[in-house]
Amino acid sequence: MKITSDIIDGVPVIEKLSVDELSAGTHRFFFKATTDSLGNYHRIPVIVVKGQDDGTKLFLQSTLHGDEVQGVDVIHQVLPHLDPVNLKGTVVLVPGANPPGMQLASRYYPAQTETQTLTNLNRMMPGDANSSNAGSRFAYALWHNLYMGNADLFLDLHTDSTGSAFPYFLFADFRSADVCRLAALQPADQIQEDDGIDGSVETELVMAGIPSLTVELGCANIFDPDMTRRGVQGVLNTMIDYGMIKGKVDLLGIESFVGNDDVSIRADQGGFARVLVKLNEDVVEGQDVATLSNAFGDVVATYKAPCAGRVLSVCTSPLREPGSTVVQLLRRV
C-alpha cells in the first residue's frame, strides 16, 4: 500500500492499493494513476469494503471504456448491500476506471497532445511503464498498482459501444472452470464462449490465473434500471456462491443462451439503417434483419440473416458507414 500525504475532498490519495494491509471496514481512496499532459494526476475513485474475516477478494471495475457508464450505477447500487460486519473477504469497487475518456463520453483513453492518439485500454493490458503511448502507461498503473494483489475474482463491467445495443451479455473463457462458475451466476441473456482478446482485462487476468468476465450491460451513455437490477443481482450471486455473504443465488428466472460464434451483418455502403429485429430474438437463415435507405428515403439495401441465430446486438444509431455492423447474431456451431 502506498498512501500519499494528499487528501482531496476528504479522500486520501493512494499510489498503490494493497487491500491485505487495510483494516476491516469501508474505505474510500483516489488512486493516483499517470498524469495528463499538464502534469495533473488522473484520479480514479476506489471503494474497498473489507470484512472482519478473510475470504475471497472480488474486484468490480466499471467504465474502462469511458462511454460505458452503466456499471457505475451497478456499483453505486451494490454498495448498500455491503456491510463489513457481515462480509467474509473484500470487495474492491472502481466506479469509473477511465476518467479522461469519461469526460469526453469516449470509449478511448485520449492523448491530449499533438498525436491525438485514441487508445483502447481494453487492448493494452498489462500495459508498459516505458511505452511511448500514454494510454499504455495508464494501463500499466491500473494493472500493477490497482488490480494485482487485490483480486481473486474480477468482473469488468462494460456495455455495447455508443450507437449499438447489447442485451445482458457475457464474454467468458469456458476453458477455465472458475470462469464457467462465475458466468453461471450472472442473470445474463446471452453468453459468448470464446478464448478472449489479447490485451483485454478479462483475457489477461484469466491468463494470469484470476477468473474474470467481461459483463456487457446493454447500451452506452445511460443508466438502465433493469440492467442495474440484474447487474447488482449478478454481483450478489457471486458473493453468495463464493461464501462472502449469506443468501440464495437468484437468476431472476433468466436462462442464458450460450453461443460460440458471432456473425456480423454489415452495411455495404453508407446510409440510414432501420433494424427489423429485436435483441434476443431468434432469426432464421434468409430473414430480413434491416434495411438501408439513402438520404432521399429510397431503400437501397435489405440485409438478411446469413444463418440462423439469436440477435446479440443491433445498431441504435441509424447512420451507418460502409462496413459498420447493423445487426450481430450469436449462434452455436
Using CB under 5 A, list all residues that contact Zn ion: 65, 68, 158
How far apart are alpha carbons 199 and 138 in whole angstroms? Answer: 13
Least distance (Å) between residue 161 CB and Zn ion = 7
How far apart are alpha carbons 258 and 63 in whole angstroms? Answer: 25
Place of cell 498498482: 145
Least distance (Å) between residue 2 CB and Zn ion = 29
Cβ-based nearer residue to Zn ion, 71 or 187:
71
Least distance (Å) between residue 254 CB and Zn ion = 22
Cβ-based nearer residue to Zn ion, 64 or 265:
64
CA-wise closest residue to 72 among 40, 98, 90? 98
Least distance (Å) between residue 312 CB and Zn ion = 15
How far apart are alpha carbons 194 and 62 in whole angstroms? Answer: 21
Least distance (Å) between residue 70 CB and Zn ion = 10
What is the DSSP track for 21-85? Answer: GSPSEEEEEEEEEEE-TTSPEEEEEEEEEE-SEEEEEEEEEE-SSTT--HHHHHHHHHGGG--GG
How far apart are alpha carbons 319 and 262 in whole angstroms? Answer: 22
Cβ-based nearer residue to Zn ion, 68 or 202:
68
Cβ-based nearer residue to Zn ion, 27 or 158:
158
**Listing from the earlier edge strand, what are the strands of the sheet with 319-320?**
299-304, 288-293, 271-275, 319-320
* Helix or strand run (H / E) with residue 288: strand 288-293
* Helix or strand run (H / E) with residue 166: strand 164-172
Cβ-based nearer residue to Zn ion, 56 or 212:
212
Cβ-based nearer residue to Zn ion, 68 or 189:
68
Cβ-based nearer residue to Zn ion, 66 or 271:
66
Least distance (Å) between residue 68 CB and Zn ion = 5
> In which region does residue 57 sit, left (phi positive, over 0), alpha (psi from -120 to 50) or beta (all else)?
beta
Cβ-based nearer residue to Zn ion, 108 or 140:
108
Least distance (Å) between residue 169 CB and Zn ion = 11
What is the DSSP track for 184-209? Answer: HTS--SEEEE----TT-HHHHHHHTT
Alpha helices in the chain (DSSP H): 70-78, 99-103, 134-142, 177-184, 201-207, 225-241
Query: If you ran DSSP here, which 8-state letter would residue 260 be given?
Result: S
Report the residue number whose CB is nearest to Zn ion: 158
Cα–Cα distance list, 138 to 118, 131, 196 (Å): 13, 10, 22
Least distance (Å) between residue 157 CB and Zn ion = 9
